[in-house]
Structure 1
Amino acid sequence: MSRPGGRRAIALAGAATLAAATALLTAPPASSAEAVTAACKKTSDWGTGFDGNCTITNGTGSAISSWKLEADLPSGTSVGNVWNATKTVSGNHYTFANTGWNGTIAAGATTSFGFGGTGSGWFTGCKINGATCDGSTPPEKDTEAPSAPSGLRSTGKTATSVSLAWNASTDNVGVTGYDVYNGSAKAASVTGTSTTVGGLSAKTAYTFTVKAKDAAGNTSSASAPVSATTDEGGGNPGGGGDKVVGYFTNWGVYQRNYHVKNVETSGSAAKLTHINYAFGNVTGGRCAIGDSYADYDKAYTADQSVDGVADNWDQPLRGNFNQLRKLKKLHPDLKILWSFGGWTWSGGFGQAAQNPAAFAESCYNLVEDPRWADVFDGIDIDWEYPNACGLTCDTSGPDAFRKLMAAVRAKFGSGDLVTAAITADASDGGKMDVTDYGGAAQYVDWYNPMTYDYFGAWDAKGPTAPHSPLTSYPGIPHEGFNSTDTISKLRAKGVPANKLLLGIGFYGRGWTGVTQSEPGGTATGAAPGTYEAGIEDYKVLKGKCPATSTVAGTAYGKCGSEWWSYDTPSTIRGKMGFAGDQGLGGAFFWELSGDTTGGELITAIKSGLG
């Protein structure tokens, strides 16, 4: 989501601060005096990416004619460009081999190759020509398979999915993951002891088994099977839901001068089904107030108030909360959720995940505070990068998000709404692959996958690209960064379509110093924006830089040296058609103040959903 600081960090960490931990091997040990060794290190590191170099040393007494270096990278980290070597990739396993001219290394000589990467991880399990990179003797090969998983059981089901859980296997070295089978077909591979298998047919019996595996590739025998029959109905009924969820930001009442009354006067309130109030803080393992003045203290005059009645100095509740209460009186069917976290405060979820029950208790007590309990109908969790890197890096583990959402649902019960804003990174090994979103889906009413901010001027030199592409297209800078792949991957992970809302940005992303009108051009930096460089509201862009064409279902335009991409009423209607075809639960958007005073974009969402 767009917010102060941005959904993705734009400023780069200083490349000079390189920790010693970035070196795979800083120096070969004494035992490597007669071995071929390799030492790899990061030559620069800016948090979300790096440049690296590997030096291969021939410590033997004779020349070698070729070399091959192998290593693994963690999920969320990848190597792109490589120079002075060839690269092949299989999952997270990378192999670098000599080119035609640098395969021969004389005795005592060295050669090197370089590369650029994204993410914050680094190599593990380095091998050079089949031996360990530091020249040490490799451990004896592990040939013992893990024990078969026990206690396989169904923990929930819908018309299109079955949730499963099992007891952990044991292994002489360590279990690295589990393969889940639907009959004889592999349905999922996970690191935890639960998953949700999706894409199933309604009212159909299925039989599942699970096998454990270790780092050496040994696989256990199958668990005892468990059978489950999906519920009636479900599937894609030929159309989507009608949820229209808009974010209202508490800081918008300041510089933006956007208040709850504007939601009413723009006509947006009548078109909304839900408002997500952003943001509450997450700190000290607890939910906390984000801005007490804006939330419940700011006094509104009669002309600023939703109902034309001024606040009194001694009334028990003022601010946005009181204005939202008045808005709900005008629209009794409108539901309001309090969103906690966001890009800036997602770092607080790591501590919350250490005690999910205590976190859920604190959130419930705050949302249900007697002063404003009638205002809110539930909670929205905006943990944007669990077990991955964003503004900070989280190491809570692949099961942390699921456990936290289970605790929140248990505390809030079935009577309140529980939703979550989640990553839209559908790239291979990206943020979506390091967290159990499928398993956590059983605890949420719906997910808001943030299908925008895929591309932007944090890549200051470009290439220019639409920040919210509906589909992939030739030349897209990063595969998996589009709405179609996001929805497809979440559904494959077992998230029912009707629990997914399509995300729309009421703003654009832009570059300056651009000479090419079509996407893919180079730039010199972020285009100027009203509140933040590289970002601008739709209500400004429609006049400042009118769209001249579309790519991947998103509009773009070039005005002078600036290049902007954003959604228009026309492209939004197209995206709503996609949401309907996919059977999604509706759409959500970030955020209300970016629309025109007449609500052009929300009108397009409402009419597009039908």
Structure 2
Amino acid sequence: MAGLTTLLLPFATLVALSGSAEAAPDAPPKAAAEAAAEATATYAKTQDWGSGFEGKWTVKNTGTAALSSWTVEWDFPSGTRVTSAWDATVTNSGNRWTAKNLGWNGTLAPGASVTFGFNGSGTGNPDNCTLNGESCDGGGQPGDKPPSAPGAPTASDVTETSVKLDWKAATDDKGVKNYDVLRDGAKVATVTGTSYADSGLTKGTDYSYAVQARDTADQTGPASASVKVRTKGGGPDPDPGDKVKLGYFTNWGVYQRNYHVKNIVTSGSAEKITHINYAFGNVQNGRCTIGDSYADYEKAYTADQSVDGVADTWDQPLRGNFNQLRKLKAKYPHIKVLWSFGGWTWSGGFTDAMKNPQAFADSCYKLVEDPRWADVFDGIDLDWEYPNACGLTCDTSGPAVMKTMMQAFRSKFGANNLVTAAITADASPGGKIDSADYGGAAQYTDWYNVMTYDFFGAWDAKGPTAPHSPLTDYPGIPKQGFTSAAAIDKLKAKGVPAKKLLLGIGFYGRGWTGVTQKEPGGTATGPAQGAYEQGIEDYKVLKNSCPSNGTVAGTAYAHCGTNWWSYDTPATVRAKMAWAKEQGLGGAFFWEFSGDTANGELVTAIHEGLK
């Protein structure tokens, strides 16, 4: 059965018999023997991203006697595998998979249930399941399918503390018993009808609601599409005319960099930003897919790591960065979060995806609006490096592909979601800006994040040394058109409104070693050493290890020993923000939070510079 399978298995104590009808001396009392336990093992595919999926088993004791342990076994078709699992020990022999309880979740009292889950590769569903060695044949309800998804709820009678929800009924071959109402991915009520009034809410707060049906066999169907609701009150929303102050948060930053959502709060940055781009989701096989499931929604946070000081529990429906972003938005409701897909490493999937723009946009919408985290995200950011041009890979889709993509995504995501893109700043004659129709695509975007950094760096190992983020031209610049001003001017000339352009700031420096000349234009022997990779280092490190001793083209540089670095400082950031205001730009964005100091010096400079 695709997606959801329920297996009803009888368990009874076996009694050894002699030639007579009497029980053997060591047999249990008759009452215990008759206290037969029944149990179900229910499988659900909770997410599918094409090349892989997330699955969940629920083992429930439906009888009158306790179960002391459980083992679930099943077959997967060739090509389908478990890649990681939680809350059970999962092993395999060929295509036969076995899941055993852990030490703490093996005992199930009558009526109790336990779940375990896994990520898998491939697309297959389990078959030939057994629970504690008993066959599944004859125990279940053959052919009994789970209910369909109900209609998306509609909201009415919204007050400061309550909202009324209505939805179209689900269908089921055996009949629908009731509905679970999900608020921000967590169940808040179970009702028998198709409406519910939720109360006790916080004024001026965003909520996301979905519903899912349960049939008379206690099978739960898929969740409906979600609806977003903002309660009244709580003060006015931020002025939409205010400048955008956006930062990228990377999911891999929670590892070696040890940078978490809570650091946005402790640095004082949360009060000073308006938007966060969560980077990155992947683009594979024509679809948007999860980038790092562990960091995104599985990692358990302790109380001291968490935004609100509350630890995650093992059984909560959402953990990881997504849950921390949810908590951040609850504390700072002015912040909007977009999910960014692609980036330098994962841009190669866009070419294939754009063979069917509508299907691509639909897959991304379903992932962003997944009921488990729909309330976390306020839109999508597409970081294709680069349409109809070369980055890590080359694309030859033609200049119209950018407009086609943004039109498809605006159509799917609608007017109430943000749809943005990170784009090239290469304004050289015949360069990347000239390769795609950014002007035509602008009508469908809320704004562009113009990547006005990484113009020059130690990929040219012998130099010449040059600032990686020059605001303006300067004598001796290695390549014309490689400045922020040139990029903004060219995009305006192509019809992009100034208010839809954000100026990019790098929270890091790029540098060379083997340099004797203090000023730009010197020769080098290779990239300078960085903490994570050669030729690049965070601002928070460089401000102390190699302090700025000069400026050129609106940005700072530093020569210390034989190393030469360029990077932005609070002073140059403020000057760039003043320039952005003069140009009528929509604001600024930066890559990325973890490069800033513990007290958010660079975020503060952006905030103050755009006042």
TM normalised by structure 1 equals: 0.61
Partner of 2:265, secondary structure, is helix
Shift of 1:242: 1.4
For 2:603, the equivalent position in structure 1 comes to 602
List aligned pairs for 1:155-554, cutoff 5 A: 241-554=242-555
Shift of 1:384: 1.7
Counterparts of 1:401 and 1:282, CA distance in 2: 16
Any stretches of 5+ residues in structure 2 without a counterpart?
A: 1-240
Task: Please say if residues 573 and 605 of structure 1, whose CA atoms lie closer than 8 Å, have aligned partners that are also in contact.
Answer: yes
Letter in 1 for 2:385: E
Shift of 1:409: 0.4
Counterparts of 1:497 and 1:394, CA distance in 2: 27
For 1:55, the equivalent position in structure 2 comes to none
Letter in 2 for 1:595: D
Shift of 1:481: 0.3
Letter in 2 for 1:553: G
Identity %: 77
List aligned pairs for 1:79-98, cutoff 5 A: none
Counterparts of 1:352 and 1:445, CA distance in 2: 22
Deviation per residue, 1:209-233 (Å, 9 max, x gap)? xxxxxxxxxxxxxxxxxxxxxxxxx
Counterparts of 1:536 and 1:258, CA distance in 2: 16
Counterparts of 1:442 and 1:544, CA distance in 2: 45
Counterparts of 2:308 and 2:264, CA distance in 1: 12
Counterparts of 2:526 and 2:387, CA distance in 1: 30
Shift of 1:401: 1.3
Partner of 1:557, secondary structure, is strand
Task: Please say if residues 353 and 401 of structure 1, whose CA atoms lie closer than 8 Å, have aligned partners that are also in contact.
Answer: no
Deviation per residue, 1:224-277 (Å, 9 max, x gap)? xxxxxxxxxxxxxxxx95110000000000000000000010011111100000
Partner of 1:519, secondary structure, is coil
For 2:211, the equivalent position in structure 1 comes to none
Counterparts of 2:334 and 2:560, CA distance in 1: 42
For 1:569, the equivalent position in structure 2 comes to 570
For 2:162, the equivalent position in structure 1 comes to none
Letter in 1 for 2:395: D
Counterparts of 2:350 and 2:396, CA distance in 1: 10
Query: Considering only CA atoms, is the larger Rg found in Structure 1 or Structure 2?
Result: 2
Letter in 2 for 1:291: D
Deviation per residue, 1:71-115 (Å, 9 max, x gap)? xxxxxxxxxxxxxxxxxxxxxxxxxxxxxxxxxxxxxxxxxxxxx
Deviation per residue, 1:480-510 (Å, 9 max, x gap)? 0000000000000000000000000000000
Shift of 1:552: 0.1
Counterparts of 2:386 and 2:441, CA distance in 1: 15
Any stretches of 5+ residues in structure 1 without a counterpart?
A: 1-239
Shift of 1:446: 0.2
Counterparts of 2:558 and 2:507, CA distance in 1: 16
Task: Please say if residues 241 and 584 of structure 1, whose CA atoms lie closer than 8 Å, have aligned partners that are also in contact.
Answer: no
For 1:143, the equivalent position in structure 2 comes to none
Counterparts of 1:529 and 1:413, CA distance in 2: 43
Counterparts of 1:269 and 1:453, CA distance in 2: 26
Counterparts of 2:330 and 2:292, CA distance in 1: 24
Partner of 1:349, secondary structure, is helix
Counterparts of 2:248 and 2:398, CA distance in 1: 29
Higher relative contact order (CA 8 A, sep 6+): 1
Counterparts of 1:350 and 1:397, CA distance in 2: 10
Letter in 1 for 2:452: T
Shift of 1:333: 1.0
Deviation per residue, 1:141-200 (Å, 9 max, x gap)? xxxxxxxxxxxxxxxxxxxxxxxxxxxxxxxxxxxxxxxxxxxxxxxxxxxxxxxxxxxx
List aligned pairs for 1:11-90, cutoff 5 A: none
Partner of 1:476, secondary structure, is coil
Poorly superposed stretches of 4+, deviation over 2 Å: none
Partner of 2:381, secondary structure, is strand
Report the number of matched residues: 371
Counterparts of 2:411 and 2:485, CA distance in 1: 32
Shift of 1:422: 0.2
Deviation per residue, 1:6-36 (Å, 9 max, x gap)? xxxxxxxxxxxxxxxxxxxxxxxxxxxxxxx
Partner of 2:360, secondary structure, is helix
Counterparts of 1:511 and 1:446, CA distance in 2: 34
Letter in 2 for 1:453: D
Deviation per residue, 1:276-319 (Å, 9 max, x gap)? 00000011111000000000000000000000000000100000
Shift of 1:383: 0.7
For 1:189, the equivalent position in structure 2 comes to none
Letter in 1 for 2:256: Q
Alignment of 1:582 with 2:583, yes or no, is yes
Counterparts of 2:518 and 2:291, CA distance in 1: 41
**RMSD of aligned Cα (Å):** 0.7
For 2:123, the equivalent position in structure 1 comes to none
Task: Please say if residues 241 and 580 of structure 1, whose CA atoms lie closer than 8 Å, have aligned partners that are also in contact.
Answer: no
Letter in 2 for 1:597: A
